[in-house]
Amino acid sequence: MRAIPIDQELVLSADPVVSAVPAVLPQVLAVSRLSPLLAPGLERHFVVHDRLHETDAAALAQQAPQLRGIAAGGESKVSAALIEQLPALEIISVMGVGYDGVDVAAARARGVMVTHTPDVLNDDVADLALGLMLCAARQLPAADRWVREGRWLSGNMPLARKMSGARLGLVGMGRIGQAIASRALAFGMSVSYTARSPRPQLPYTYFVDAAELAAEVDFLVIITPGGAATRHMINAEVLKELGKGQGQGVLVNVARGSVVDEAALIEALEQGVIAGAGLDVFEDEPRVPARLLALPQVVLTPHVGSATAATRQAMADLALDNLLQHFAGRAVRTPVPECR
Ligand code: 8YV
């Protein structure tokens, strides 16, 4: 990947002590609303154009020859057409582990580096997955409502289902999948998974596809990248398999909404094919279908997998550092696998 060496005077650093004030700040396009944890650092080191591509096509065309970087979030779209419009583009820095919205092939074809923020969010996303599993199994939001609405005064809640000792199936066994698996072991759960290829070094059972896996588990947790390769991987057939077991299955999605055929999921929940779901991501965020909102056996969260102050700060720091390293002529810290 191309890294542009720049004049020593322009060397940038995240450390304010060694940071030199460059004569000309590199220009960066923010393609979605910047995190308040990233914006101040970014604005200190770069001239930031906020979502010009959405608001002012003429201004974008005017600035394009100077725009050397893109700052994106995990859900941002960076299309081949946008990359095409930016002849000076050198780097796309994604503040997020997922980068399915970025046309990486188009970036690579132009020699544009793409970076993301893996690892720093593993714990939080894994914690949320377990939280959603517990919430869906033990019906915690409904239990909370039971107390608040005074319904306890006239009776107990219906019995919930047990999570400890149940069978977990993971769709995806990357770093976050492994963090979920190790937590599940503490709950005495058995762990199986499907992934593009088996990982023989891990002590978990491998299944070749999601339907075979779903047939053998009580909880199916989705933690695989989004994008064309996984679109609607969880379809009506997979949900039917998940629903076959005793007590039926629970689906949890902390990956991308695109991985699940949402219409098929709603159908399966309405028909009682599966017992419940815990969903952090949706096909058309932040819009959530009214039919999903109406289902009491579904626990919904607004894409908060990595949303703790500590983790978002770590993600912002890493996203900024990748830009700083690049513009200082050094290797970026966390390129996406395709750019390594
Ligand atoms: C965030 C995410 O919502 O990391 C990802 O891929 O989806 C989330 O952590 C987002 O990236 C914050 O910008």
Distance in Å, CA 290 to ligand 1 centroid: 24
Give me the chain's average pLDDT, please: 93
Ligand 1 touching residue 305 (CB < 6 A): yes
Distance in Å, CA 238 to ligand 1 centroid: 26
**Mean pLDDT, residues 295-321 taken together:** 98
Minimal-distance CA residue to ligand 1 atom 7: 74
pLDDT tens digits, residue range 230-274?
Answer: 999 999 999 999 999 766 899 999 999 999 999 999 999 999 999
Q: Check residues 16 and 267 and name the one with the higher pLDDT.
A: 267
> Does the structure show a pLDDT above 90 at 11?
no
> Does the structure show a pLDDT above 80 at 6?
no
- DSSP H helices in 34-120: 39-45, 52-55, 57-63, 80-85, 104-109
Distance of alpha carbon 333 from alpha carbon 4, whole angstroms: 15
Predicted confidence at residue 22, as pLDDT, reads 55
> Does the structure show a pLDDT above 50 at 9?
no
Select which of 110, 231, 303, 333 is catalytic: 303
Q: Is 45 a catalytic residue?
A: no
Please choose from 306, 311, 320, 322 the residue to mutate so as to test ligand 1's pocket, defined by most ligand atoms within 8 A of CB. Answer: 306
Sign of CA dihedral 39, 32, 122, 92: negative
Ligand 1 touching residue 169 (CB < 6 A): no
Q: Is 326 a catalytic residue?
A: no
**Mean pLDDT, residues 300-314 taken together:** 98
CA dihedral in degrees (182, 124, 210, 101; nearest 10)?
Answer: -150
pTM over 0.85: yes
The full DSSP string for 141-186 is HHHHHHHHTTGGGG-PPPP----TT-EEEEE--SHHHHHHHHHHHH
**Mean pLDDT, residues 122-142 taken together:** 98
Contact 164, 190 (CB under 8 A): no
SS3 (DSSP) at 29? strand
> Does the structure show a pLDDT above 90 at 12?
no
Ligand 1 touching residue 167 (CB < 6 A): no
Distance of alpha carbon 23 from alpha carbon 47, whole angstroms: 12
Q: What is the largest CA-CA distance in the chain?
A: 75
pLDDT tens digits, residue range 90-127?
Answer: 999 999 999 999 999 999 999 999 999 999 999 999 99
Contact 274, 245 (CB under 8 A): no
Q: What percent of the chain has pLDDT over 90?
A: 92
State both tokens at 105: 């092939």
Sign of CA dihedral 291, 297, 302, 306: negative
Select which of 54, 84, 270, 285 is catalytic: 285
Measured in degrees and rounded to the nearest 5, phi and psi for residue 94 equal -100, 125
> Does the structure show a pLDDT above 70 at 279?
yes
Q: Is 75 a catalytic residue?
A: no
Minimal-distance CA residue to ligand 1 atom 4: 96
Residues in the chain, total: 340
Distance in Å, CA 141 to ligand 1 centroid: 24
Predicted confidence at residue 206, as pLDDT, reads 98
**Residue whose pair of structure tokens reads 């930031």 in the numeric block:** 48
Q: Beta-carbon neighbour count of residue 239 at 10 Å? A: 26
- DSSP H helices in the chain: 39-45, 52-55, 57-63, 80-85, 104-109, 122-138, 140-148, 175-186, 210-214, 236-243, 262-270, 290-293, 309-327
Ligand 1 touching residue 226 (CB < 6 A): no
Distance of alpha carbon 261 from alpha carbon 51, whole angstroms: 30
Contact 97, 116 (CB under 8 A): yes
Predicted confidence at residue 23, as pLDDT, reads 64
Ligand 1 touching residue 175 (CB < 6 A): no
Select which of 45, 68, 256, 326 is catalytic: 256
Predicted confidence at residue 46, as pLDDT, reads 98
State both tokens at 118: 């893996």
Predicted confidence at residue 302, as pLDDT, reads 98
> Does the structure show a pLDDT above 70 at 18?
no
Predicted confidence at residue 114, as pLDDT, reads 98
Q: Helix, strand, coil proportions of the chain in percent (round to 5)?
A: 40, 15, 45
